[in-house]
Structure 1
Amino acid sequence: MSPRNRLPPWHEQLRLPNGREVLIRPIRPDDAVPLRAAFPLLGPDEIRQRFLYAMKELSEDQAERLTHPDPRTEFALVAAEPLPPGEALVGAVARVSVVPGSREAEFAILVSHYIAGMGLGRQLMRRLVRWAKGKKLERLYGDVLEHNQPMLQLAQSLGFRRESAHTPGLVRVALDLR
């Protein structure tokens, strides 16, 4: 690839099995409005699987917080249309956040049902793991609803092990990064 065609770090253009082009890239402040606008397109189960409770909208404050990660302790990616941030429809979000005072980080991934089952969760999770290893963290974990079998299977295929989440209905999956 010639230098002028290279994408910036953490960017990758993919063609999904359905032919749709997406760009995986770090989240940008301009993504807040499209994220809020697309939230009603999510089904109740998708929202519950990510936020662990029902929500009707993504508030302005929540969108602001999500789109302004602290680069020292947080990392967030989106899979979006290959358009400029603020114009691109966002189909997936992945986030990792270092637990204060520890060498651990918690992850969360949300992939819209419109593009679920096409390998984006795996692509996003691999990048979260790579970021966490680059920060020299020792452990990456996330809490998953016990009936979210696709996420549990994905985590297992990437080497995560199941733990008790100490909350009924949840399973904690954890990956040792050492």
Structure 2
Amino acid sequence: MATRNRMPPWHEIFKAPSGHELLIRPIRPEDGAPLQAAFSLFGPEEIRDRFLQSVTELSPETTQRLTHPNPKTEITLVAAESLPAGEAVVGAVARASIIPGTREAEYAILISRFLIGQGLGRQLMRKLVKWGRGKYLDRLYGDVAAENEPMKQLAASLGFKPVPHPNGAEGLVRMVLELDN
């Protein structure tokens, strides 16, 4: 009988048109140091689009929160070199977190400028949507800087709809996907 080469859950080899090959997988605690080191690979504009402010480094608290997600309410995926966790350079991070007391989750994605336009954001978003559906959530949303056209276009191409930010936050658009569970 032939043996199938199966990947663990939430793992996938991503082959970019540029030739980069990355492993998409759940984040692990040992990814903390490489994640902090890789933060320098993200340009100021990418960081501002994700964090909605200028940030020069990941704080230990943010790193801890990202690398230790609660599996019942959060998923954090990385796209990294196919090396052991703790050694692999991290090129992208995607996260979704259920809002307590609701059936909704907020997503966020950060991709290195070296990997933008390769289809990686789309693949990570698809995985976050799959996770949300698997959790029987009603909706998945993300707050996007109004000038971040690539993210708004990506989200719209996957069925997300722009809605005014509920807090009336200037410069933000909320992209919402009804999951129809």
TM-superposed deviation, 1:113: 0.4
Deviation string, structure 1 residues 13-53 (Cα, Å, up to 9, x no partner): 12111111100001111110001011122211111111111
Residue 96 (structure 1) aligns with: 96
Opposite residue 171 of structure 1, the aligned amino acid is: V
Residue 174 (structure 2) aligns with: 172
Task: Verify the 8 A CA contact 2:38 2:90 in the aligned structure 1.
Answer: yes
Whole-angstrom distance in 1 between the partners of 2:22 and 2:50: 21
The alignment status of 1:158 with 2:158, answered yes or no, reads: yes
Residue 38 (structure 1) aligns with: 38
Structure 1 residues 19 and 162, CA, compared in 2 at 3 Å: closer, same or farther? same
Whole-angstrom distance in 2 between the partners of 1:144 and 1:169: 8
Whole-angstrom distance in 2 between the partners of 1:72 and 1:135: 9
TM-superposed deviation, 1:5: 2.1
**What value does the CA root-mean-square deviation take over the aligned residues?**
0.9
Please, what TM-score do these two structures have when normalized by structure 2? 0.95
Residue 119 (structure 2) aligns with: 119
Whole-angstrom distance in 2 between the partners of 1:54 and 1:3: 49
Deviation string, structure 1 residues 43-79 (Cα, Å, up to 9, x no partner): 1111111111111110112111101000000001011
SS at match of 1:24: strand
Residue 5 (structure 1) aligns with: 5
TM-superposed deviation, 1:6: 1.1
**1:121-160 maps to which residues of 2 (within 5 A)?**
121-160=121-160
SS at match of 1:5: coil
SS at match of 2:37: helix
Deviation string, structure 1 residues 110-164 (Cα, Å, up to 9, x no partner): 1110110000000000000000000000010000001111100001100000001
TM-superposed deviation, 1:3: 4.0
Q: In the comparison of the two structures, how many residue pairs are matched?
A: 177
Whole-angstrom distance in 1 between the partners of 2:119 and 2:14: 10
The alignment status of 1:68 with 2:76, answered yes or no, reads: no
Moved over 3 A (4+): none
Opposite residue 101 of structure 1, the aligned amino acid is: G
Opposite residue 160 of structure 2, the aligned amino acid is: F
Can you give the 5+ residue segments of structure 1 that lack an aligned partner in the other structure? Answer: none
Please, what TM-score do these two structures have when normalized by structure 1? 0.97
TM-superposed deviation, 1:4: 5.5
